[in-house]
Amino acid sequence: MPNLIDKTDAEIDQWIFNHEKKRATDKQLYHELLEERARRSEGKGHLSIDKSLELLIRAATEQRCVTYGDLAKASGVDWSYARHRMSGANGHLDRLLDVCHARGLPMLPAICVNESGRQTGELETTALSGFAAGARRVGFPVVDELSFHHQARDECWRWGKERAGSLA
């Protein structure tokens, strides 16, 4: 196994790209590369992967959604700063998808929504497209974006319910 700490960001990104191009997103090295890239992005963006995961796991257990602002608050980052680092390719939500995939967790970013969707669990159009693009990137076959999001969201809540039952 290569020492990833000695690799540049560009090398890590290229290896990840190569795995995705070959559809080798189930390989252990790919998972390690995703974790390393997420760890590095945390230092650059000041949004904590671990704090965000902790919040998303708690929300799944409580059967509720959180907002992007909630993730920023969990990291102690002002929304005006965090909002530019949250979405899009290589944004915080993309790194969260990477880590969930690498750790065998459900796609927990599915329960992170815009403020308008907090009660319904629905994503706005741009957020839905971004979520689907991230899922495709890590190897999920997404045909109908809305149905895929609903399945992923419901899977998070099922997982959270099972987790809550095992903790009781």
Question: pLDDT in tens for each of the 168 residues of the chain?
Answer: 678 888 888 888 888 889 988 888 888 888 888 878 877 776 555 789 999 999 999 999 999 999 999 999 998 888 888 888 888 777 899 999 999 999 999 999 999 999 999 999 999 999 999 999 999 988 999 999 999 999 999 999 999 999 887 875
Report how far apart, in Å, the C-alpha atoms of 50 and of each of 14, 47, 116, 138 are.
24, 9, 25, 20
Task: Provide the pLDDT for residue 164.
Answer: 83
SS3 67: strand
User: Residues 122, 76: contact at Cβ < 8 Å?
Assistant: no
Residue 78 makes CB contacts below 8 A (sequence gap 6+) with 72
Q: Where are the beta strands (DSSP E) in the chain?
A: 66-67, 112-113
